[in-house]
Structure 1
Amino acid sequence: MEDYKKALGWRLRWYVVRGSLPVLDLVGCAALLAVFWQYYTQASALPPPFNKVDIGAGGFPTLLAMATLIGIGAVAAAAVIRLLDPVPVAWVSIRRPLFVLATIGLLILQSIYFETLGTLPSVLIFSILTMLACGERRPLHLIGVPLALGAFIFVVFNLALDVNLP
């Protein structure tokens, strides 16, 4: 019985992170709050629209940032309520945390090299690398999904919306 009780607590190993769901929610919310607050401040600095009916350059990014910040606040409030609730909290395990961190790193690298590489090469390269980091090994998926994603982006932005992406 003693080993069973030990297995239910916090565990930090290279292959698994196990912890209380509300606490992990709050840690994730803190990280997302830092990122999206920065995003909100940069979106707010964009110029206002010339036409009062138009949304302007910063309108959509600001709206997206505000909606995300509200969502982060809702998740954080729910986590605090669950922590204060007398019902025992749920415990979760994050398997392969190093691969999760590698995937986060790849997404950050994609945002850095997006303009340098261009839209389609960036999407193709980083979608394959992200899928590999997430554990996908089937060749058809590793080839098909990036190609379908690149084709979708090209059709929607270049053909349908006539937006020239970098």
Structure 2
Amino acid sequence: MDDILKNDKGWRFQLGLLRGASPVIDLIGSVVLFGIFWVYLRSSLALPPPLNDIDIGAGGFPRLLALATLVAIVAMAISAIYRLLDRVPVSWVSVRRPVSVALTIGLLILQSVYFEQLGALPCVLLFGLLTMLACGERRVLHLIGVPIALAAFIYVVFVLALHVNLP
């Protein structure tokens, strides 16, 4: 453990480190995730209903996923509030390279936005490479090989084995 973290027991914001109380960070994350999955649930409710009683329809799985995730998020928020109110000292969490983490989150959001415009395989190749760069990978063979292997795996499984038409 670094000397900085051994002696520092409080909040810390700097370019290479974000340090804070675990329940507070959990609560902030819960609020953000709740908002995201609330929008996801509302979008899934707009999808068509099933054609017959035994099918879940186009919106069934996304709706189920959204509801289960919202329940888990609420449970995490309740746990965070309980830990904040508890008399036991809170644990502290350190996130190394928070700028890289934020950049990676942004890239994943951009990937979801451009997925249909670029197509599945080009999008996986491009954003796989960019995500690896944002996470600090600098080995050329990994930067080339991993996105190609991931795109090949997706092609084999979805196009060849399952006969899914990718965008």
Shorter-chain TM-score range: over 0.9
Quote how far apart the aligned CAs of 1:5 are.
Answer: 9.5
Could you say which residue in structure 1 is the equivalent of 2:19?
18
Could you say which residue in structure 2 is the equivalent of 1:163?
164
In the alignment, structure 1 segments of 5+ residues that lack a partner are none
Could you say which residue in structure 2 is the equivalent of 1:98?
99
Instruction: Provide the rounded CA distance (Å) in 1 between the counterparts of 2:5 and 2:114.
Output: 47
Matches within 5 A, 1:8-87: 8-87=9-88
Work out the number of aligned pairs and report it. Answer: 164
In the alignment, structure 2 segments of 5+ residues that lack a partner are none
Two-structure CA RMSD over aligned residues (Å) = 1.7
Q: Which structure 1 residue ranges, 4+ long, deviate > 6 Å from structure 2?
A: 3-6
Seq. identity, %: 63
TM-score, length of structure 1 as denominator length? 0.92
TM-score, length of structure 2 as denominator length? 0.92
Could you say which residue in structure 2 is the equivalent of 1:147?
148
Q: Residues 7 and 158 (structure 1 numbering): CA distance in 2 closer, same or farther, change over 3 Å?
A: same
**Residue deviations 1:83-111 (CA, integer Å, cap 9, x gap):** 12211111011111111111111111111
Quote how far apart the aligned CAs of 1:144 are.
Answer: 2.1
